[in-house]
Amino acid sequence: MSFRWPIKDPDEQLDYSVDWSRFLGSATISSVAWSVKSTEYTTETTVTNGQTLATASSGGTSDTIQNVSQTNTTTVATINLAGGVANREYTFFCSMTDSTGSTAKRSIKLAVRDK
């Protein structure tokens, strides 16, 4: 099951979050990693802080969504995103390791549309 974030315009730069508190119980987040794939580029690619997913697609339009920054608290992982191609859907993956050494991964869909 994938979660879904609100629609993003290609010109917006916004924060998107995953709240892990129900999963964690009394544990806390130790580390977080983000990856992404798009409807055009189906390979899951890690995007680190400041990195852009810039891959040529079959239609000649490159994916240009950027992980501007990422942060986390003890229970919430946040990624700040810029760019993206209009009329394209991205699936983001948030992988988290907690203070007990347990790991989990969530997928979240993000549609990019001109507003």
Beta bridge partners of 93: 35, 107
Residue 66: per-residue pLDDT: 93
DSSP single-letter state for residue 6: P
Structure tokens at 26: 């009394």
pLDDT single digits (tens) 57-102: 555 556 688 999 999 999 999 999 999 999 999 999 999 999 999 9
Structural contact between residues 105 and 96, judged by C-beta atoms closer than 8 angstroms? yes
Beta strands 3-4 and 103-112: pairing type? parallel
pTM given for the model: 0.89
| Order of all β-strands in the sheet with 63-72 | 13-19, 76-83, 63-72, 52-55
